[in-house]
Amino acid sequence: MSKLSFLRGTWIMLGALGALTLACSSNDSSVGAGTTTGAVHGDACGEPGDVATSSDGCNTCFCQDGKWACTKIACDAACIDGEQQPAGDGCNSCTCENGQWACTLMGCGEPCQADTTKPAPDGCNTCSCTDDGTWACTEMACVPDCVPGTSAPAPDGCNTCICMDDGQWGCTKMGCVDTCVPGATKVADDGCNTCFCGEDGTWACTEMACVEECVPGTSSPAPDGCNTCTCTDDGSWACTEMACPDQCTPGSTKLAEDGCNTCSCMEDGTWACTEMACL
């Protein structure tokens, strides 16, 4: 809509960009204010003084000598082509085309009540009503329905699943043996033995005693209680090999080898002898 003032043979358009003056083709001497609306279709126009909106939507055209004369103000694009945004109704969407918004016109369902739930159309997910009145559904993978009484191997390959009366699978939960490809090998869980896959597809592992890895430079008593083990640079233990005294039963006694002293068995299973001078 455009606002005009009429002053003896002159049209004056008042707007935010200033005054635009155009000479009219009639000698109408009326003084006053008027408003006309319309859209430009073709070059020809009606009566002098008619006003219409240009096809670009932001300029104004005036009828002069039977033809339209339009302003040429640069129009700002309403949006960026390709940009998208939700429509105000909450269910349609709008896309920017040629600087203008173009929106889908799908029929929108009634908004839902916040915090209510319902089953999703797939039958296994659940939809919850959000605060904006729209549904948001979980997206879990659905287990295919089955025919009650039928059976099938479980995904683990060793259990069996049976279709229940409600159309859902119920599976056994036996511990599965780790199967393998015959001829394959792997390191055992203890890190030092080796496992070989047999013809029946099961693993058979060696059972060697594993030497505990260590930090190079550290030491520890040997299992025999009298020798000492030191950790070498390759992370393995190297132990002295001295002959160990006989182990004894704590509390027992015996005559020392010198024939005059007495030896007592200590709590650690070793002998401690008196050291008196023998006559």
Q: DSSP for the chain, please give it.
A: -EEEEEETTEEEEEETTEEEEEE-SS-----EEEEE--B--SSB-SSTT-EEE-TTSS-EEEEETTEEEE--PPPPPSS-TT-EEE-TTSS-EEEEETTEEEE--PPPPPPPPTT-EEE-TTSSSEEEE-TTS-EEE--PPPPPP--TT-EEE-TTSSSEEEE-TTS-EEE--PPPP-B--TT-EEE-TTSSSEEEE-TTSBEEE--PPPPPP--TT-EEE-TTSSSEEEE-TTS-EEE--PPPPPP--TT-EEE-TTSSSEEEE-TTS-EEE--PPP-
pLDDT of 43 strictly over 80: no
The pLDDT value recorded for residue 271 is 82
Asked if residue 121 lies in contact with residue 135, where contact means CB atoms within 8 angstroms, the answer is no
pLDDT of 49 strictly over 50: yes
Q: How confident is the model at residue 212 (pLDDT cuts 50, 70, 90)?
A: low
The pLDDT value recorded for residue 30 is 31
For residues 162-172, give the mean pLDDT.
85
pLDDT of 111 strictly over 50: yes
Most confident of the following: 102-111, 142-151, 207-216, 227-236: 227-236
Task: Please count the other Cβ atoms lying within 10 Å of the Cβ belonging to residue 52.
Answer: 20
The pLDDT value recorded for residue 31 is 31
Spatial distance between the Cα atoms of 142 and 145, rounded to a whole number of angstroms: 9
**What do you get for the CA distance between the two ends of the chain, in Å?**
139
Rounded to the nearest integer, the mean pLDDT of the chain is: 76
Q: Strand pairing partners for 60? A: 53
Q: How confident is the model at residue 24 (pLDDT cuts 50, 70, 90)?
A: very low
Asked if residue 155 lies in contact with residue 144, where contact means CB atoms within 8 angstroms, the answer is no
Structure-model confidence comparison of residues 64 and 46, the more confident one:
64
Lowest-confidence range among 66-75, 92-101, 174-183?
174-183
Spatial distance between the Cα atoms of 279 and 275, rounded to a whole number of angstroms: 12
Reported pTM: 0.22
Q: How confident is the model at residue 267 (pLDDT cuts 50, 70, 90)?
A: confident
For residues 179-187, give the mean pLDDT.
85
Q: Side chain identity at 260, as an amino acid letter?
A: C
Asked if residue 45 lies in contact with residue 68, where contact means CB atoms within 8 angstroms, the answer is yes
pLDDT of 222 strictly over 50: yes
The pLDDT value recorded for residue 4 is 42
The pLDDT value recorded for residue 203 is 84
Dihedral through CA 220, CA 226, CA 232, CA 237, nearest 10?
A: -80
Per-residue pLDDT of 52-76, as tens digits, reads 888 777 788 889 888 888 888 877 6
The pLDDT value recorded for residue 279 is 77
For residues 207-213, give the mean pLDDT.
75
